Structure formats: C-alpha cells, structure tokens
Structure 1
C-alpha cells in the first residue's frame, strides 16, 4: 500500500497506529455489501431538514462499476447535503444526471494518482457517522494466486466503522487528497465538515437497523462464496461419475458441466429448454454474421452453459420475476454470470467460453455487469449471447408474467437497442424473426451440433 494512501495516513495519525478491529482484507463482493448497507441507511433515513442531511465523500476507484450504481447515487444525492465523487475522467459521471446535480461535485482523478486504487465511502452527519475505507492490493501482493480474473474476487485492505472521530479524521485526510484537483472545493468540504461537527442540538440516530442490515448483507455475501464452493464440489462429484465412462479429463469435465446445465433447465419448469434454444438462436445469429467455425463452436457451447451460475440458486429465481425476488435470491440472479464464470474457470480449456459467459450481462452503454464494459469492449460472442438470452426469456412465462409472442419479445429488444444491446445485432435478430413470421424459416429449438451427453438422461427416461 502506498504511503499516501488514505488508509495509511489514517493509521499514522492514530495512537500506536491502531486501526479498528474491522480492519482486514476483503473481497470486492463483501465491500459492495458493506457500501450498500450504509447507502441504504442514507436512503431510508432521508430527512427533509437540510441541517440533518449528511455529507458524502466517495471514491469510485477506477470507476469500473460506477454506471451500475449511477441511478442509486442520484437518489442518495437527494438525501445528502453534498456529495463529492472522485473517479477517472471517462467513468461516465460527467454525462450522467447524477453529475449534473447542484450538490454533487466531481473530481476527475489522474491515472497516476494512487486514489484510483482506493474505494471509499465516508458519511458524515450531525447525528451519526459511518465509513468504508479501502485500498486494493498491488499486483505483487496478490502473490502466487495472481491477479483474479473475476472482478468480485479482487481483494482490498479495508475497514468499516461508525466511530465518529475516525470518520471525521478520514474525511479530513481524503478532502486534502482532493485539494490538488480543486482547492476551493476542498475548502468548502472542510468548512462543511466543521459546520456539521458544531451542530449539537440533534437526536442521535439509532444505528441498530443499519448494523442489522450490514449483518444481512455480509451473510448474503458469505452465502454466495459458500455457494460457489458448494457448486465446485458438486462439479467434482459429477466429474467423478463421468470418469467412469471416459478417462479423458477434459472431456469428463465438459460432460460434468453439461449435466449440471441440463439439471438447471430441468428445475425451470416454465423454461425447461432455455439453454438449447439460446444456443440454437445464438448459432443462427453467428452464422448470419459469418463468424469463423471456431467462434461459432464457442458461441454454441456458451449458449448451452450460460445458466450454469444458477446451479445453487433458490427456486424463486425460476418462479418469480426479478423485481419480485428478495435480496438473497436477487443476488443470485444479478451475479449469475460471475458465478458461472467462476465455475468454468476450473477448466482451463474453457477460458474462451468463460469469457463469453462472464460478459453476456454487460450492456452496450456500459451500465451492465460485472465490469461495466461498453460497446465493442464486450466480445461479439458475449453481445450475441446476451441479446439472445434476453429475447428467449421474454418468449417464456415467468412468475405472473405471461409469455410474449416473438414480435412482442423483439419489440422489447428494440427498446433496449443502443442501451443494453448492440444495435447491429438487434437488427440481425429482427431479420431472423421477420423470416420466421412470414414462414421462410423455422426458429430452431436446438443447435446444429449437440453433445450426446446433454440428452442422455432424457432419452433414458423416455425409453
């Protein structure tokens, strides 16, 4: 950690350099949980009295996930006296409505400033204070494990606390680190901090709720990590079964993945052949775009495996719309591409497939998950898979939503053209659906080549 790091400076000014007991190394998904818990407290205790509204100092590291939180911070700003947000210049702040608010100040970080390695949330109000303060491990500190390929597995030195003295001290340090970018803003933030600290006629906030929320978020975060380990164990068990039939390790791993994917589809009674249909339609779009044979093969396999991250998902994920899910179930749905990629990472031969699965929930405008990739920064195969998976999902019922017709599902895709989806791919999909509607082609329900293992259990059950 660099000497100028906010965490390091805070440690140096404390007696004996003693940081709170919460200090340690955290995975990114845990820090997301902590920040969301504190942000939810701001939203749920939103005051109409301006003197009671908190000051927020935020550092969005390199801004890789800002667009996923942009609308959320628009609401948070309404509940805050002032919000100062630091991120790299091309992170999207300047063009988003949040960045246009009068009480939001933007600090565009230089890439050589160590602040781009930090992820901070400081909340300072007259009646409470809270913060999450973090600094990512350097490449050398990742050691033998190497830099993680999955974003949520990145590691940070970090702490969280409600200690008012610690929060105020950290706020002062972070404000001074903003000074080289905007001296007048730094002066104003320090003045605001002083004004807040001098307010004494306020009722202390009961933080029982936010502490409970933190525990819940952390439990959910931990549950996700446990789930990934459980999925990996199940994969090992399935691989062991496959080894009895074939001693080729790579082939057996792939068979294990395919069996797992088939079991997931069988759990989804409303959409039991999702993977087959998605793989088939993705292959059709790939053929229209004249993809090379190798890329077509990868796209076809990614279509069969794109839902593998839902292996341990609660049944509600398959029976309810996303907006109706509780926090734990919603987390499985939101992060399914990450879970899938983590599973596929156990088989090095599937690295190209892993990349497609990981990126298929990225959006054309950069607002998708998990890394906020944008436009052609998303692989073409992942863009195809993301569009086709969404289209296919709309044609099937989900919870209290009826299945859409092909035209209705296409219209939904057209609504998101240039937002979620590559406009050129939406146009290609439109061509396919028009041909289907006028009877010149049939919408395929399975890819041209299908591993026999996928249908083995189904055939056995029917005989």
Structure 2
C-alpha cells in the first residue's frame, strides 16, 4: 500500500492493532454496497433542523467516475450540511449541476496525487459518524495469476466503521492532505467540524437501520458477482472466487449482525450488557458440561446474538411496564425475529438453530415448535436458562434486580417444566461457588469476537 495513502496514514497513527476488524481486502462490489448503504441512510433520514445534517468528505478514484453517482450526490446535498468532493479535474463534476450547489465544494486533484487511487466516504454528524476508506491494490500487489480480468474482480485495501474517533482522525488526514489545493476550504471544514462538536445529539438516529441495509447490500452484491463470474469464467475459477468472496462477505455480514446486537443492548436502558453477560454465563455452563470447542464457540456467538431481532423494536418493548398486545407479542417473538435475520447468512445456521429454540420448554409447552426434553438442542436449553436468569438479575421497569440467590430460586421453580433439571443444577453450582467467593460470575465471554465494535 502507498505510504501516503489515507489508510496507511491512519494505520500509522493508530498502530495496526488498533484498526477495526473490518480492515482487510475487499472486492469492488462489497465496497459499493457499503458506500450505498451509508448514503441511503442520509437520503432516507430527513432532519427538520439544519444543524443535525451531516458533513461529508468524499474522494473518487481517477477514471472511475459515473454520471449516475453525480446525480446521487446532488440528492445527497439536499440532506447534508456540506459536501466536499475530491476528484481529478476531468471527472465530470465541474460540468454537472451538483457542483453548482451552495453546499458543495470541489477539489481538483493533481494527476500524481496518491488520492486519485483512493475511494473514500467520510460522514460526520452530531448523532453519528461513519466512513468507508479504501485504496485499490497496485498491479504488483496481486498474486501472480490473480490479476482482475473484469471490473467486479478489482480488489481494494479497505475498512468501514461507525467509531467516531477513527472517523474524526480520517477526516483530519483528508483535510490536511488536500489543504494545499484550497486553504480557505480547509479552514471552513475545520470550523464546520468544530461547530458539530458543540451540537448535542438529537437522539433521533437509529443506526440499526443502516446496518440492516449493509447486510442487504452485501447479499445483493454477492449475488451480482456470482452472476457476472458465471458468465465470464469457467466453473473452477468461479468456485475459487466464490470461496474468497464468501470469506470477505461473511466477515462483513457477521460484523453487521454484531453491531445490531450492540444496538439492542444500547436501546435497553434496563439491561445494557445482556449480550455479553448471557454469552459469558452460557459459555461457563458449556465448559462445565465439557462441550467441544466448536460447540462452545457456537454457544458464545449465539449468546451475543440471542435477541438481535429486537434491533427495530420500539422503546416500549424494553420497558415492559405497560405493554400493549402488539409490543408484548414483539417481545415474545424475539427468537423468531432473530432467526429471520440470521437466516440470511447460511454460515450461521447452527447458531440460528440455537437462537430460534431458546424459548422451547422442557415440558413441550414452549415455542416456536413445541419441542420437548432432549428434542430441544442442548445449546438452546442452556441459552434459554441463562438468558432468563441474567434478566432476573437486572431491574426491569418497577421490578428491582433480584439477588443471585433469588434469581436462582425462580429458575429452580421451573426445573422440570420450563428448564432442563440437570442444567438448573449446573447453574446452581456456578452460583453457589460465586457466593462462596471461589469464582467470579463472568461478565464477558473468554473469546470476544474482534468484530464486537464499541464497548
């Protein structure tokens, strides 16, 4: 990677181990999907007050500019505070109506500027921050024989994140890298950014929607790439590309799911650490039962994703104080809603099974399939017991948090009806050891996925 590239400067500034886990090599289609998902969030979220509109800084690769993107940025400008577009002079911007808008400024990059090989989208708003940074691999960086033959096979070093600190640093790098073109514009952008910092968040932005779009776009980009490759390559080549793409997209989609799970926790004022604590305690029970490593890994992940279906839930669902029938049903159906989301990623099918059956009861009276006894997957039985216990140890509405002993007693009252008696005994062992001071109740799993983003 070029030493002066935005990505490399960010990496040097932070240290490679501090970059988000999304950092890696991406196919072009994946990056288009990510950028469009973030742009669509802006197009579909209308701010009544000008001060909440986002500040955008975008750079476009030389020779990769298309008219439909110019039209898209004209629409984006309507919903943005200010947009800075950096591209080579012959990109077509200057002749397009987008460049005439009062809140759009162009930077004409020199032909030898390293930015002409980059494709960046940086968004700063009072409510959120997001970005996609990428730089195309040079011909020398492709393995011999893997050079792209068609446009969709082009590869980029890239990353995407919602981490405001990283986005702020990238914004600074880009403004400094382009300051010699238009110093007054750089000063203006710095003033705009300083002004944004003093604006309190409106609380009206829910990023779970944009993450949903990212998952959908990634799925579509995968299907499109399959179609193109199927028409242009032999079956053996297609299979090789598909395997590489699956790994790339799989990591991105899993990251999107984990981000959604975090949003659920953030939206739940009574239980903001549910995913971490449920995953940790489920793992502990799995270790007591001597589950193999693979099953433990699946159980940990199921714990992190066990209520992802509540990503779009109204706040009343979490309060559970005066639920109407609709919100009560929403809460009851959380395993089904979670399963529908996870089903879009076939690699998560074993985790999906655990999450779907977490509310099956030992006596067969649970949902969604009325499974009974050992018909219920063991990991699902563990998840159901642990999530119920953890919920009791947190306050909910007018109900105070129960002590570990009281929460255990309530679980024991359902032994043989709702819960597997043997698992209740295992949970009892953990709680008793905790109360005796011989162990600490875990608050996070032993191996937290690196794509678990913001603490």
Q: TM-score, normalised by structure 1?
A: 0.49
TM-score under structure 2 length normalisation: 0.50
